[in-house]
Structure formats: C-alpha cells, structure tokens
Amino acid sequence: MRLLPVLLLTAALAFTVRAQPADFPGLGAEVGAVGLSDSARVSLLTMLPGDEVYSLWGHNAIRIADPASGIDRAYNYGTFDASQPHFVLRFLSGRLNYLLDTAPFDYELRRYAAQGRPIVEQTLDLRPETVRALYDLLETNALPQNRDYRYDFLRDNCSTRLLDVLDAALAETGRPVVALPPTDTASTFRDDVRRYMVGDPLVDVGTALGLGLPMDRVPTRREAVFLPLALAEALDGATVAGRPLVTERDTLFWIEGAGLPEPAFPWPAVVTWGLLVVGLAGAVFGSRLPTGLRRLGRLADALLFAAAGFAGTVLLLLWTATDHYVTEANVELLWLWPTHLAFAIPLLRVDLPPVWRRYALAAAVVAALSVVVWIAAPEPVHPATLPLALLVAVRAGDRSRGKA
C-alpha cells in the first residue's frame, strides 16, 4: 500500500521550520586538535537516490581520510533518533530533531552497496589547516550535546549543513568561503523536487497535493543546493579564492539502473480523468438511469466529497496546526474544503435540502474558477489533480439542482 509512503513523504517535506542559518561550535570548544597529517584529504560523498520514499532525493556526507592517523570517517546530518520522547507527535508536527552521525567510511560503503545506491566521491582542494579545522568542527558538532538540530528540508538539511560547515572551516582559517557557479535555471523548489518522483506517480500526486505556495518560489543559487545531487553538481563548478574546489571525481561503485528514475506510466492521471468522464456522464444522463444506479451514484458522490473533505482537513491542519512551512498557503484548499465532510452526509439523500443545494452551487463555482485560474495563471497543477477538481465542480453543480 502506497498511502503510507505518501504520508511519510509529505511529512519529510514538511519538516521545515523558520530555522536560522546553521551555526557550529567553535574550534577547540570541545575537542582538542588531532594530529592529522598534511596528506589528510576531504571529499564529498553523494549517495544516489534509492527506491524507498525517504531515499528518493539521495544523500550527502563528508569523508575525512588520513591513513597516517588511521582516520577514515564519514559525517552525515541525515539521521534521527526514533527513541526521542513523543517521537510520533514530533514527526507529525514537524518538530523532529535530526542529528550529525559519524561512521567508519568502510561501513558506509557497505551499507549503501547493500541498498543498491552508488556513491560518487568528489575530492576537495583544501589546505591542511582547513582540513584540520573542518575535522575539529565536525568532531565537536558530533558530541551528544551538539549533534541535534531542527531539520529543514529546504534550508537546513543533510546537504546544506555540509556546505555551511565547509564555509565555517574556510572562514576559521582565513580563507574565502565557497563560490558557487552561476545558474541560468528558473526552476522552482517544486520543480526540483518533482524530478526525483517521476518514477512513483502516487507519491508524486500526494506531494503535489500536500505542498503549498512556498515550494513555488525560484531558489537563490545558495538555496538551490538543498538537494544532494544539486550540491554535488554545484561543487563541480565551485571555486575557493579562484581555484577549483573539486580536484577529482570518482564513482566508488555503480549498479545498473541507478540514478534518477525513469518516468513511470501516469496511471493516477488516467484514473482521475476516467472518473471525470463518469461524473460528467452521470450529470448528463443521471435522470434516465435506473433507481439502483442512481442510488449508487449518490453513494459515489458521498464518498467523493468525504474524501475531498478529509484531504482538505489534513491540508488545513498541516498549514495551521503544525510548524510546517512548505505546506503553508496550499491552493488545493480552494476546492478541497474541509466542510465537504459534512456535505457528504446529505448527499446520500434523494432530495438535497435547500441549504445544501446552495452549498453545492458555491462549491461548484469555486472549484471551477480554481481550475480556470490554474490554467490562465498558470498555477502549478498536477495532471492527476486537475480532473479531480473538475469532478468536484461537476458533481457539486449537478447536485445543486436538487434530486438525484
């Protein structure tokens, strides 16, 4: 059943609070200088997307390797502790803390190989003193009292934190921060996220419904590296004091078929357009249908508006009752009214009471106007949700006439 992944994805996207820029404990605050040799090197690890919902966008980590000191460790900001108090409540409300985790590099390599997710490594051109500063910052940040942070899918996550800590180490050693290459893309946050979901149409639809207007903004160059593959691509063209940051790029292992997903057959859109055709047929020929089919039609209308009302209630709660940011100002609420839950009950009756007829007419008009606005603006609208909004308009308009 794919409903759970859809909910998990929406929750993952909604782990967004109005976070301040990432800060890190100062050098030497908790950890003494470790004798890294001058040959110690730093690299960015990029784990390609996986099949599970939580792994759709890939992952990043920093590797620090120094054979002379016996150190070869990976640092990643993408883990959380399921034993946190009130874990489920924190998860749903967007108040779940993530943490910096460390592990031997060999362990990480085996773990992602077992998941069928290749790792790309980019070796960074950093001075020895910057490598030591970065190591000290990461080790200090990994201490139990420092490792937690409030995850923000767009602005403070497993990718952005790595760039932030790299800049902090550069600044600490008197070096300019990373200069990212310019980009001419005008894609929005929503566009960038959707590229990773084309292989799972149901997850794609659920995300389209759950995300609000904040996702329709074009990110700045710095914000655009919120996705792991985007960070890796940006670092390929990045510089520090005019020198290329990446000196070498290597695929540590490869698995056939890995990478961004291929577009899957858009079956949700086929289903919803089919439902719209059935709804239109009911509006045109409903009065001529046998009693049994008309009774079935009333039940279908009740289920449609109950589902729309439930979805609207969830979207409204995500906007108003949680710390979620990317679910604010959701335009899907223009046609997914939470009050449709109550409307579903009288729809089971043959003769709709006058007050509900007026309600049905209002719902039909607003849903139809929403579709017109989406097409004319255009607002971002998913191919599978457009016919659903039209279906709500058609069925509400039909029932506003009274008998069914």
C-alpha radius of gyration, the chain, whole number: 26
- Top-ranked range on mean pLDDT: pick from 93-102, 117-126, 377-386: 117-126
Percent of the chain with pLDDT over 70: 88
pLDDT tens-digit readout, 11-67: 444 333 333 345 566 544 444 445 799 999 999 999 999 888 778 899 999 999 999
Which H helix or E strand runs over 44? Answer: strand 41-47
Alpha carbon distance 82, 91 (integer Å): 10
Distance CA 313, CA 35 (A): 57
Residue 350 burial (10 A CB sphere; 0-12, 13-18, 19+): exposed
Residue 110 has pLDDT above 80, yes or no: yes
Q: Is the pLDDT of residue 310 over 60?
A: yes
Point out which residues pair with 101 in neighbouring strands: 76
Cis peptide before 378 (omega within 30 of 0): yes
Distance of alpha carbon 142 from alpha carbon 156, whole angstroms: 16
Q: Would you state the structure tokens that stand for residue 131, as one six-digit string? A: 């490598």
Specify the 3-state DSSP secondary structure of 286: helix
The first and second tokens of residue 400, run together, are 């506003």
Q: What are phi and psi of 114, to 5 degrees?
A: -65, -30
| pTM of the entire predicted model | 0.85
Task: Check if the beta carbon of residue 96 is closer than 8 Å to that of residue 84.
Answer: yes
> What is the tens place of the pLDDT at every residue in 149-176?
988 888 889 999 999 999 999 999 999 9
Cβ burial of 320 (10 Å; 0-12, 13-18, 19+) is exposed
Least confident interval from 76-85, 88-97, 299-308: 88-97
